[in-house]
Structures are given as C-alpha cells and as structure tokens.
C-alpha cells in the first residue's frame, strides 16, 4: 500500500512554489517565501507520514490479521497437546508459564491457570532442571524424577517455537525404565546362576588335574559334586527355556477338557519318586468338575507347587491337594504344614530368581524360577495365584480358575 501519491504531491509542491514565488516577487521577498514554502511543505509531508505510521500500528484490521494468525497457531498447539499423556508446558521468552495441559499437573505439579505467568524454574526447582533449562541447548533430553511424585521417572525435552517461546514436554518413562532394569537384572542373575556351578566344576577339575586320579575316594567325591552342579545348570537352562516359551505366547495353544484327579495322582507319584516319599500327600478332588486348558502347562504348574510343598515341608509333614468348585469358578489348592514364609517375602515370590533363603533353595535343587513359571501358566489360563503363609505353620498356594475354564457335570445334567 502506497502512503503518499508522489506525482500529485510534486504537482502540488510546484504549484505552491510558483504561487509563493509570484507573491514574493511582488513584495521583493521571493527567496524567503520560496524557502518558507519548501520548509512548510516538507514539514507537512513528514507529519502525514508520521501520522500514517501511528494510526497503522494501532489499526485493528492491519495488525489484527497478523495477531489472529499467531493466536490461531497457539490455540491449535494447545488443542493438540491438551489431552496428550505427555505433560506439555508453553513457556515464554522470559521463562514464565503461559499454558500447561492436565498431564503436566500429574507429572510436574503445574496447574493451569493457577501457575500462569509464574517462572518455571521457581516451580520446578530441581538443580538439574534449572541447569538444563537455562543452558538453552536442548539437543539432548533430561532424565529426572518427577518433582510432584518421586515414584515417576520422567524424560524431559524442550523445543523452541515462535520468537523465543519454548515447549517443555515431560514423558513418564517409569514403566520403560522398570522393564529395562528387569532385563538387565535378568541377564545379571542368569550369568550369576550359571557361573556359580561352573566355578565349582572348574575348581574340582583343577584339583583333579593337579593331584591326579589315584585317590579313588577323592575322585568319586569330586565327580559326585560335579554331577550335582551340572544337573543344577541343566535344570536352570530347562526352566529358562520354559519361561521364555511361556512369555513369547500370550495364550495356550492347544486346549483340552481335563480330569484333574489323574493329573494330581501322576504328579504325586513323580514327587514321591523324586525322594519326597515320607511326606503324606492327600488328594481331595471334586471329580464332577473338569478343567479346560493345556495339559502339559497345567501339569508343570501343579507339579511345581507340589514339589515346593514337598521341599519346604519336613519329613512326616502333611500336604493336601484340593480341587473344588467355588463362587468364581474352581480352585486347585496346595496346602502344607511346612516351614512357612514370612509375610514380607510373599509379594515377591513369583519374581524370577527370588528366593527366601538362597542357600536353602540351592540345597533343595531350586532354580528360583518355579513360581515365575506357575504365574505365567496361570496367566495363560486367565487364572490367578494366591499365596498365604504363616511362618512355622505352613503355606497355601491356590490357583483360581474362572468359570469359563471349568466344566461341571452337574451343569450338564441340569
């Protein structure tokens, strides 16, 4: 848009000069009048230009277009970020909060509009955050605990937008970190579990290499020890393979309708022939209900529970295997009057490699993976494991199956 029509103005100026030149000539003050005309005309032009600038800067139509576009962009950003799971905060060039979403309240403790215009570094005053924010180099991310709740692990990132404005994103990475830690711990545990028997075998082999094979009694003892350790490694690897297979499939592949009693009797036989014959194992089974599931997996889960009960129950102790219908479906319970477990261990028993007493578990040939395997098998069957125990009195491990997994002959006849 043109502020001044210069052609018109030149004509006007020329006309004014001629007119004033003539008047000046009449009164012999031509030079003065021409100078005055030029001065006044230039002043008038400058005044018009200045007025146009002033009025233009407050002109609603002119300025509104630009402002409205900017506001629309900000509104669009706010709408997009309002319901995201990541905490999002808009910060102006002075470091004050101009907007934040609801997730920012949970993760960062920032409430909008209550904290609007407050400096972000006054509200998140962890030194690592202040250093990151004020550094103004946001190429990397910042990992920190939530200032609102120390149980949340956050990953923060900042991006510039507009003129000096910043967008702060806070992502909850608690679960990702937990899984990562689980993986690292798992690898460390497996390495440790395998290294221990290998070290023992190595030790015996070195002794045999140094001392020769003449002392038959010593040799026999060394071979027995090495055999025991090799078996321990074998069971560990076997359990690891089972666990990894269970984890890799979300559901059981083949399913059958199973009678529980024969399965329990077979397991009892196996446990007794594994050297736990002195314990009394009683089976109480409601034969009118059948269980739908994978025979191999269920056998493995129940056998693990019964083997544990036998391992942690002294000779002459009593173990009861019960299969019965209940309000939710049906339950397979393994109850013993053995050594029992202290309450604080119970929530962790199904973690891989978790043992109440490590040396005792190694002594009994345990891998620390048995209950983790049971848990996965039950998940495959939409069932849940409940554990209750009293130290010195005994333990109850019960597998609760939903109604959808059982078939009752009473139902069939009705």
Taking the complex as a whole, the smallest distance from the CB of residue 371 to ligand ADP amounts, in Å, to 3
Q: Are 395 and 338 in contact (CB under 8 A)?
A: yes
Taking the complex as a whole, the smallest distance from the CB of residue 360 to ligand ADP amounts, in Å, to 7
Gyration radius of the chain's alpha carbons: 42
E strand or H helix at 385: strand 384-390
Q: Are 378 and 398 in contact (CB under 8 A)?
A: no
Q: Give dist(CA 22, CA 216) in Å, integer.
A: 143
Q: Which is nearer to ligand ADP, 87 or 370 (CB)?
A: 370
Strand pairing report for 280-285 and 318-325: parallel
Q: Are 158 and 87 in contact (CB under 8 A)?
A: no
Q: Which is nearer to ligand ADP, 293 or 340 (CB)?
A: 340
Strand order in the sheet with 406-408: 256-259, 289-293, 406-408
Q: Are 403 and 329 in contact (CB under 8 A)?
A: yes
Number of other residues whose CB lies within 10 A of the CB of residue 165: 15
Taking the complex as a whole, the smallest distance from the CB of residue 396 to ligand ADP amounts, in Å, to 9
Taking the complex as a whole, the smallest distance from the CB of residue 204 to ligand ADP amounts, in Å, to 24
Q: Which is nearer to ligand ADP, 208 or 362 (CB)?
A: 362
Q: Which is nearer to ligand ADP, 142 or 371 (CB)?
A: 371
**Residue numbers at the binding site for ligand ADP (CB under 6 A):** 304, 308-309, 312, 336, 338-339, 341, 349, 354-357, 361, 366-371, 395
Taking the complex as a whole, the smallest distance from the CB of residue 361 to ligand ADP amounts, in Å, to 3
Q: Which is nearer to ligand ADP, 147 or 366 (CB)?
A: 366
For residue 347, what are its two tokens?
Answer: 């929530």
3 state SS of 146: coil
Taking the complex as a whole, the smallest distance from the CB of residue 351 to ligand ADP amounts, in Å, to 8
For residue 348, what are its two tokens?
Answer: 């962790």
Q: Which is nearer to ligand ADP, 59 or 241 (CB)?
A: 241
């Amino acid at each position: 848009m043109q502020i001044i029509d210069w052609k018109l103005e030149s004509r006007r100026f020329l006309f004014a000069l001629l007119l004033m030149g003539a008047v000046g000539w009449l009164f012999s003050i031509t030079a003065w009048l021409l100078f005055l005309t030029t001065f006044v005309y230039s002043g008038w032009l400058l005044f018009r230009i200045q007025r146009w600038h002033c009025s233009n800067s407050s002109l609603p139509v002119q300025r509104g277009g630009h402002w409205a576009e900017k506001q629309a962009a900000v509104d669009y950003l706010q709408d997009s970020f309002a319901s995201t799971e990541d905490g999002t905060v808009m910060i102006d060039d002075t470091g004050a909060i101009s907007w934040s979403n609801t997730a920012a309240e949970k993760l960062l403790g920032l409430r909008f509009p209550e904290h609007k215009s407050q400096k972000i570094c006054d509200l998140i005053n962890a030194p690592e955050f202040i250093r990151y924010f004020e550094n103004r180099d946001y190429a990397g991310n910042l990992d920190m605990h939530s200032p609102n709740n120390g149980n949340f692990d956050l990953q923060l990132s900042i991006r510039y937008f507009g003129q000096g404005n910043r967008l702060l994103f806070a992502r909850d990475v608690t679960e990702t970190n937990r899984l990562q830690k689980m993986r690292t711990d798992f690898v460390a545990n497996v390495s440790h579990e395998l290294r221990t028997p290998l070290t023992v075998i190595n030790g015996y082999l070195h002794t045999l290499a140094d001392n020769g094979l003449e002392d038959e009694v010593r040799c026999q003892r060394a071979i027995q020890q090495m055999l025991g350790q090799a078996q321990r490694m074998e069971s560990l690897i076997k359990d690891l393979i089972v666990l990894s297979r269970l984890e890799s499939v979300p559901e059981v592949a083949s399913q059958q309708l199973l009678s529980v009693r024969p399965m329990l009797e077979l397991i009892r036989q196996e446990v007794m022939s594994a050297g736990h014959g002195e314990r009394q194992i009683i089976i109480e089974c409601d034969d009118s209900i059948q269980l739908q599931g994978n025979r191999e997996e269920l056998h493995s889960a129940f056998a693990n529970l019964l083997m544990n009960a036998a391992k942690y129950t002294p000779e002459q102790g009593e173990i009861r295997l019960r299969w019965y219908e209940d309000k939710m479906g049906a339950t397979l319970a393994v109850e013993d009057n053995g050594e029992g477990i202290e309450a604080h261990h119970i929530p962790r028993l199904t973690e891989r490699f978790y043992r109440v007493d490590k040396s005792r578990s190694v002594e009994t040939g345990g891998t620390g993976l048995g209950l983790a395997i049971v848990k996965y098998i039950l998940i495959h069957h939409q069932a849940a494991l409940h554990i209750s125990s009293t130290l010195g009195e005994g333990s109850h491990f019960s597998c609760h199956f939903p109604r959808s997994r059982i078939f009752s002959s009473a139902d069939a006849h009705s």
